[in-house]
Each structure stands twice: as structure tokens, then as C-alpha cells.
Structure 1
Amino acid sequence: MYDVVIVGAGPVGMFLACELGLAGCSVLVLEREPTLRSPGKADPLGMRGLSAASVAAFHRRGLLRPLLAASDIDDAPGADSDTDEPPRPRSAGHFAGMMLDPAHVDVTALPFRLPGPASEGVMTHLEAVETVLSERAAKLGVEVRRGVTVSEVTQDDERVVVRGGEHSCTGRWLVGCDGGRSTVRRLAGFDFVGSEPQFTGYVMLATVTDPDKLRPGFHLTPTGMYLRMPAKDYIGVLDCDGGAYDRSQRPTRDHLQTVLRRVSGTDVTLTDVRHVSTFTDRAMQTTTYRRGRVLLAGDAAHIHSPLGAQGLNLGIGDAMNLGWKLASTARGHAPAGLLDTYTRERRPVGAAALDWTRAQTAAMKPDAHGQAVQQVIRDLIGTRDGTTYVYTRTSGSSNRYDLGGEHPLVGRDAPDLRLEDGTRLADLMRDGRGVVLDLDPDRPLHAPATRRENRIRYAAGPARNDLGLRAVLVRPDGTVAWATADDPDPTQFEQTADRWFGPPDSGEHS
């Protein structure tokens, strides 16, 4: 029997598998597709934007450089920065196709921001992400079975049995990472609720015989939006048709040309359509992320339009949050209720992402109401405060879990603090343990900081820029669990450590 069975070998499933494997769990991943590679995953159709929060997740596990290499990126922005000033983003994204000027981002308003390899997002593609994660999973002993279509899921108080074709396996826990049409979600009886679509989207590789008629980049029009990347024959179209063109239909060249002409307002001609996929902005979410011993992550738990590049990043955040909690539970040293915090923390983040995409859809509607909203948004993102607000939402820097605690950093993603010897916080997190940073070695945090050494790493030393912190406790997912600007209260620290990591084992130092 495996500790955890994961259904779905996409980025979310494989990231979760790596987290569990890193913690010493036995993991089996079942995947319907027989091979990793497909045209829809490679550049350009598989192109995805990773937010700064997602880049930080790869950075903390030592996977950022392999990911950049697989994505043909020379190096991470800010990797060799000698300054400790908050870095300005090189790009700020868009809202409903309305581009933001990165020069308008007020970096001083971004919470606890430091320069470093994960200071901003990067563009990659699904094949690069899955290749890097699959290679790491193999090194960690994760077993992957491809070509398996799950058809039955049953559970009791101790185990989950998964069947598919001739395959049958048992795990103490099951996680569905099998996408928007999740079989695990359906078989395990999760409720999936939300709103119906307002548009149909198309992504295609096609030749345009008269390319000058379509301007490069994003363009919001009275009937939708189009995106053209001429160097790669990549064209994206959003048609405000109420989601009428279902994914079960195969779009013809004539249909695609008609839609593109209507949305772009041109008489452009398409030839040689080599690949096309469709999607809608249907926004749905499960009412809980856990039912008994079955959990969901990524698109299996929430679906929405790709506007704002939220989907992959939301799923990576799910996997990072769930991984250490499920591993701690499976290994038998989780404090009471730890696994329940997964739904409590991640579901509000998912709900906010769904609303963020709904807001963009509302601004794209071709009626007078939508056009009025669009003009208001244009006015707002033309200001410094408006651009900064949108950037904090799309970059993940506005996310904060409600963990209690008085310090404003608690519940936020930890800044990549750099000690005087050059060691970064991310360097200390590669083995998946939590980290205590004691930033005043002349007044060390006493005995409680060195307890639970199998689950918490202790490091001491002054930081180049300590952001006014005296000491900080960071969970394995990079979330700050406790922080203080004053002399640490050992009792308060101990209570926080108990809450997230459980009491020390008898074999650990005390």
C-alpha cells in the first residue's frame, strides 16, 4: 500500500509528488496520457506564465535553474543582484487584454519584497515544467504509471482503492490532480459549483496570409479579444458568444476564420491550421478540497478562464500548501487538524482567482455596460495605485493566509532573506523542512528553536536586509508562521511550532 496515490501527472500532480517524495513518502502517480510530450504542451501552445510566487516555489526546492534551462532562459531576473532594494518588475501583465506599464508599479508598496532569483515571474511552457518535475520525481523514488484511465474510487477509514482497466492500487490517501474534468472529483462525490461561461476561447497554430492586418500582442475589441505572436504563428481569440461553442465540437478553418474576422474587425485569411484547442470562462469550484481520504488540487478543485494566467499558478500553490501537510499526516507526526487547514487556506485563494477572472470577463462584454466598465478600468490602471493593485493580484504578492499573529508578515510568502555569508532562505528550504531564522546571533533564540530538528532547520546570522525582523519561522511551503521584530518570546514560538509541526519526538534534541 502506498502512502499517497496521485491521479494526474501534470505540473500540479508532479509538483505534489516531488513534495511527498522529498518527505520520504511512498508515492504512485497514475496518468491517462501514454507519453509526457504533446503539441499542446510545447512552446508556443503550452506557453504559460509563472508568477513570482510560483517561481519562488521552484527556487526553494532547487528546481529554478533546471526549469530556466528547460525553458531556454539564461538566468533568473535578479539572481546576481548586489542591491537590497526592492526590484522593479520588468513586465506587469494585463487585465482583460489591457496592458499594464511596469514603470507604474510602486515597488515600495509591495509587502516585504527583496531582490533575488524569484523576485518576479517568468515565461515557460508545460513541457519544460513537467520534464523538470518528472526528472526530480524519479530521483526521489516516485513511481509513475502512464496510460491508466481511472474508473473506480472507493475509500474507508484506513485506505483508498483506485481501479482503472487492469490496474488496481491502494493508498492511504488519494489526491486528484486530473484537471478540469476530474474523474476523481466525480467518483468521490465532490460538489462543484459556480457560474456558466460568457465566452469561447480559441488557441491555434495557423498561417495568416495577410499578417499586417493583425497587430502583434493583446488587443481588446468591441466583440472580444485577440492575441497574435507572428514569429510562432500563434493566435488566440476570445469570442463573447456566451460560451456557445462547446469543446466537444471540432473547429473548422472556416469557423475559426469567421470568428477571428468578427473579433478583429478585419478580413484576415487563415490557412494551414495545424493545431487548435478551445476553452471557456466557466468558473467552478468544489465546496471543499477534502472528502475523507480523498483530496483535490489544481483544476480538479477549481476551473476558470486563463485570463491573467492564474490557473497553473493556483495549482502550484495548492500543491505546495498540501504537500508538507499530507506528508506530515502520512508520516504520523502531524498536529491535530493540520490537514484540514489545506481547504481553509487554499479555497479562499481559489475563490478570489475565480472572481478575478469573472471581473475581466465583465470588462470584455460587447454591450454598453461592459464598455463602460472597460473605460473605468483603463482609467484606473493608468494610475500608479491602479497598476500596483493589479500587479499585486497577478504576481501573488497580495496573498495572505489568516494564521493569526500580530506581525504583518505572518501568513504571507516569506521574502528571500539573504544572510551576510550569502546564504538565502531558499537555500535552507531545499530539503522540505521548515526554517527558523535567528537574525541576531548576539542574542540567540534559546532552546525551543533547536527542537524538532527533523522538521525544522535552525539558522542564525545577520541578514543583509532583515526588513526589521528579529526572528522568523517559515513553514515548508514558504509561508511565514511566526515573526517578531522584538526579542523572541520562547513560549509564543513554542506554541506556534506545536501548532504547525507537532511536539518534538523523544529522539530529537530538547
Structure 2
Amino acid sequence: MDASVIVVGAGPAGLALAGELRLAGVDVIVLDRLAAPSGESRGIGFTIRTMEVFDQRGLLSRLGEIETSEAGHFGGLPLDLGALGAAHASARTVPQSVTEGVLERWARDLGADIRRGHEVTGHVEDGDGVTVTVSGDGANLRARYLVGCDGGRSGVRRAAGFDFPGTPATTELFLADIKGADLSPRMVIDRTDDGLVMVAQLPGGIHRVIVGERGTTPPERRTAPPAFSEVADVWKRLTGGDISGAEPVWVSAFTDAARQVTAYRRGRVLLAGDAAHVHLPAGGQGMNTSIQDSVNLGWKLAAVVRGTAPDTLLDSYHDERHEVGRRLLANTRAQSSLILGGADAGPVREILGELLTLPEVERHLAARVSGLDIRYDVGGGAHPLLGARMPRLRLAHEGKETSSGELLRTGRGVLLDLADNATLRGRAREWTDRIDVVTAVPHDPTADHLPAGTTALLLRPDGHVAWAAPGSHSDLPMALARWFGPARRTREGE
């Protein structure tokens, strides 16, 4: 084997996955067809959930000073994300190119082998692994698993025969970052009978312009970015203004097509990010969901490669993330109707605007677009945190202040003993090669949203609560075996 895992695509999903695999000690090769990063930045920020994930891996400080905001929207209708009471706010004005640079440096620092200018032209799977053909010198590379993180037009997806049903594009929108234009920000979508216009102020004197014209037929498939003149023409028709003299930094186009693969795994081939799901980029959820796909997959794939967990653990990747993707498509398609629907969607916008004055409705939609409503099936029980991601819990451990997020920075699972229970710690002894057992005291349980009476929590490497005491239906060894593989003695045949 040239590597345990080959990842195709060095975008946010592929780089995040490479970092997660290396954090777990698994060798990985990342192949990307471009000779250098594109510099494009479709995404310009992170949702609250991605902020949590980056904090959990110690990456927030690498991003420098981050401007945050508690303002969000659903289909152009404003949302107060502060109503969620989360430890983080969403990030604004962080270009995707910066995010990719941070993820790439992190992955390389951990030992990932990232190869640019290597286009994958095919692969063959057998019982032991996958052989990948790379263009250029025609070399073949071999790995135990192949992961396609190569975007909405994924070659890995097509070659492996994944089904990709959904709805085709009905309209095309343009996105351009431009310099030298005197524009006022239009963060709330401006609609006209003929289309929509958005403007955002980015660092460095750059404006992001998004325009879309109603009634236009999207092209079958663009093979190159649109000319800036197309963007300027649509801008003039919709606003009457002239931006043709501005300097384009980069120009792109996107559509409202919505598709999702029926399975995230086929044998030794898996998909993550846009390779698995495409949709209207409402609220920037696409890049965030893609990164979170990789955080869910990374520790599971690493455990299978290392032999500490059975191959069936990978099935939980599909079970958990396919549902997240389905809900993503549902909410972005709903937002698409509100954003692109024109006057005929006015009554729906009006009624939804009235509903958003109800706190419970606003919290529900804010949690949906922030990723905070994600809860996995981990076995059931009465504890309110089961399956959810652990909120940031401040702790005192061995005389020092720490947090649940900091304890997860090694990429290992964590058993939090909050009651100094030696018996509990003893029951986890056979899994300490894969998890850290930490006895700690919560700093302020009420402020940190820790349910009253909680004495112990088992955190997966992705931060989700797999077991809690009291309240889980399964006992601790059952939960440990389900998520981290057989006990050491059992696995080693002792």
C-alpha cells in the first residue's frame, strides 16, 4: 500500500479529513488536479458548529482575528443567532482560501502527504484495497480506502457508480469579488420582480457581489468561469448601476440544483462534502457541512484502518451524515423558494416573518442553519445530551482550568468522570489505548448547560455524547465497544 487512505480533492473537506486521519496516526495521501490552490473563496465564514469544531482542534487561533456576528438569516429573513445561547458566534469575512490554507498547514504539520497537479482518472477496487490511476506519468497508487472529496462534479462519485438523484437547476446566479467599486452593503437580499442582488464588504477593499436574474435558463454545464462582463450586464439590468469598470478578483457561477447521493459509502470508497451533496449555497452551509462530514468520518476510518474497530463502524458515517445532508437540502431548497421565488413567494415570506417573531420558531431555524440541531442515534436514553454535540464545558482538572473542547484536541475519545468514581474508571480500563479517562469538576454547570445530576459523559472524538450517566439505556462497556471497538483483552485474544 502507498497509503492507508487516499483522499481526492484538496478543498475544505479533503484537507479537514487529512488532518483528522493524521491526528489519529493514519497515513494519508491527498491528490488534487490543480497545481496550486485556486484562491477562490465561495465561503466567507463559519457557522457556530464549525466554530466549535475548529476550537475543538485548536485551529481558531491559526485563523487570526475573526469577526463574529450573531446575525443570520433564513431565506433572507433575519435570525438572531444569539437566541441559541451558544459559546461561539458565527464567523464572518473569513475567506475560504484562508480556511483552506489553515487546514492544509495543519494537515501537513501532522504529516499528511498532499500532492497537487495530480488528477485521478479512475480506480479499481478489490477485496484488499483500491488502486487509483493518476494522470501524467500514468502511475498507480494503492490504498486500503479511497475518499472522494472532489466537489459537486466528483469523478470518484461517477467512477464508483454512486446514485446522485435530486432536482436539476432552474436558474443560474453569478458571484464576483471586485475591487474599485463604490457600493453600499446589501447583506439583506434585495429582490426585484426581475431578480435579486446582494453585496457584502470584505477585507482589503473588496466587495462580494451576487446577482441572479429570474426567467433565465441555466447553461447545461459551464466549462470555465463566466466573464465579468456577464455579471456587470446583469447588475445593470437589475439595478441600473454600472460596475463594469471594477476590477474582478475572481468570478464564478452557481445554480439552485439540489442533489444527494443515496449512499455515502460503497465498499472501500466513501464520499464527503460536495461530492455527496450539492445545493443552493444559502447561508454558507455547504462548506461547513463538508468540514463536519470529514470530522465525523476521520476518526471512524482511522479506527478501522488501525484495527481497533470493525469495518461496520463506517456504516455509521452514512447513517449519521446522510440524514444531516437530507435536512441540509430540505432547508436550502426552502430558502431557495423564498430567495428566488419572486412576488409569488411574498405571502410565504410574510407568514414566515410573522412566525419568526415567536422565540421557539426563531431558535428552531437558527439551530438548523447553524448546525446546532444535529443529534445522532447513539443508543437512546433519557439524558438530554445523548447524541448531541457536547456544549463547551469548563472544567477543573488536576488543579488546572480546561474545557471539554481542549480535552478533544488529541482526536481521541474522552470519558469524563464528574463524580470521582473509581468503579466507573475501572470499567473503561480496557479502552484506555483509544480514549482518555479524565476526572474533573465542572466550573459552572448551570452556565455551561450541563444537565443537573450528570455524573459522567463519554465523548466521541467528534465531540458528540455517546453515553451519559445517569440516563443512557446501554451500560458503559456496551457504549465503548460500539464506538471504539472491542475491549483490549478481547481484541488481543487474552
- Please indicate, yes or no, whether the TM-score normalized by the shorter chain is above 0.5: yes
Q: Residue by residue, what CA displacement relative to the aligned partner does 1:417-438 show, whole Å, maximum 9, x if unpaired? A: 1113311111111111100111
Aligned equivalents of 1:481, 1:442: Cα separation in 2 = 19
Aligned equivalents of 1:404, 1:263: Cα separation in 2 = 53
Q: CA distance change for structure 1 residues 442 and 269 in 2, over 3 Å: closer, same or farther? A: closer
Q: Is the Cα–Cα contact under 8 Å of residues 253 and 271 in structure 1 kept in the other structure?
A: no
Tell me how far 1:336 sits from its aligned partner: 5.7
**Residue type of the alignment partner of 2:28:** V
Does residue 415 of the first structure (1) align with residue 385 of the second (2)? no
Does the residue aligned with 1:57 lie in a helix, a strand or coil? Answer: helix
User: Corresponding residue for 2:260?
Assistant: 285
User: Corresponding residue for 1:484?
Assistant: 469
User: Corresponding residue for 1:359?
Assistant: 334
Q: Is the Cα–Cα contact under 8 Å of residues 413 and 461 in structure 2 kept in the other structure?
A: yes
Does the residue aligned with 1:55 lie in a helix, a strand or coil? Answer: helix
Tell me how far 1:32 sits from its aligned partner: 0.7
Q: CA distance change for structure 1 residues 366 and 17 in 2, over 3 Å: closer, same or farther? A: closer
User: Corresponding residue for 2:58?
Assistant: 62
**Residue type of the alignment partner of 2:176:** M
Mean CA deviation greater in 171-180 or 128-137: 128-137
Q: CA distance change for structure 1 residues 21 and 106 in 2, over 3 Å: closer, same or farther? A: closer
Instruction: State how many pairs are aligned.
Output: 472
Aligned equivalents of 2:293, 2:84: Cα separation in 1 = 28
**Residue type of the alignment partner of 2:389:** D
User: Corresponding residue for 1:83?
Assistant: none
Q: How does 1:89-488 map to 2 (within 5 A)?
A: 90-102=69-81, 105=83, 107=85, 113=86, 115=87, 119-123=88-92, 124-165=94-135, 166=137, 167-206=139-178, 211=182, 216-222=186-192, 223-229=194-200, 231-241=205-215, 244-245=218-219, 246-248=221-223, 251-264=226-239, 266-274=240-248, 275-335=250-310, 337-406=312-381, 407-420=383-396, 421-441=400-420, 445-466=424-445, 467=450, 468=452, 469-485=454-470
Mean CA deviation greater in 121-130 or 19-28: 121-130
Mean CA deviation greater in 368-377 or 305-314: 368-377
Aligned equivalents of 2:324, 2:26: Cα separation in 1 = 27
User: Corresponding residue for 1:73?
Assistant: 66
- Percent identity over the alignment? 38
Q: Is the Cα–Cα contact under 8 Å of residues 374 and 388 in structure 2 kept in the other structure?
A: yes
**Residue type of the alignment partner of 1:456:** I
Aligned equivalents of 1:465, 1:305: Cα separation in 2 = 40
Q: Residue by residue, what CA displacement relative to the aligned partner does 1:58-81 show, whole Å, maximum 9, x if unpaired? A: 2222222112x2xx438xx7xxxx
**Residue type of the alignment partner of 1:441:** D
**Residue type of the alignment partner of 2:404:** L
Does residue 40 of the first structure (1) align with residue 70 of the second (2)? no
Q: CA distance change for structure 1 residues 96 and 202 in 2, over 3 Å: closer, same or farther? A: same
Tell me how far 1:16 sits from its aligned partner: 0.5
Q: Residue by residue, what CA displacement relative to the aligned partner does 1:155-174 show, whole Å, maximum 9, x if unpaired? A: 01111011122232000000
Q: What TM-score do you get using the length of structure 1 for normalisation?
A: 0.86
Mean CA deviation greater in 46-55 or 281-290: 46-55
Tell me how far 1:94 sits from its aligned partner: 1.1
User: Corresponding residue for 1:6?
Assistant: 7
Does residue 505 of the first structure (1) align with residue 484 of the second (2)? no
Aligned equivalents of 2:78, 2:109: Cα separation in 1 = 41
Mean CA deviation greater in 371-380 or 200-209: 200-209
Q: Residue by residue, what CA displacement relative to the aligned partner does 1:107-133 show, whole Å, maximum 9, x if unpaired? A: 4xxxxx5x3xxx222132222222222
Q: CA distance change for structure 1 residues 102 and 187 in 2, over 3 Å: closer, same or farther? A: closer
Q: What 5-or-longer segments of structure 2 have no aligned partner?
A: none
**Residue type of the alignment partner of 1:40:** E
Q: What TM-score do you get using the length of structure 2 for normalisation?
A: 0.89
Aligned equivalents of 2:337, 2:225: Cα separation in 1 = 27
Aligned equivalents of 2:177, 2:380: Cα separation in 1 = 50
User: Corresponding residue for 1:82?
Assistant: none
**Superposition RMSD in Å:** 2.4
Q: Is the Cα–Cα contact under 8 Å of residues 96 and 364 in structure 1 kept in the other structure?
A: yes
**Residue type of the alignment partner of 2:388:** R
Q: Is the Cα–Cα contact under 8 Å of residues 261 and 268 in structure 1 kept in the other structure?
A: yes
Does the residue aligned with 2:251 lie in a helix, a strand or coil? Answer: strand
Q: CA distance change for structure 1 residues 180 and 336 in 2, over 3 Å: closer, same or farther? A: closer
Q: What 5-or-longer segments of structure 1 have no aligned partner?
A: 78-89, 108-112
User: Corresponding residue for 1:86?
Assistant: none
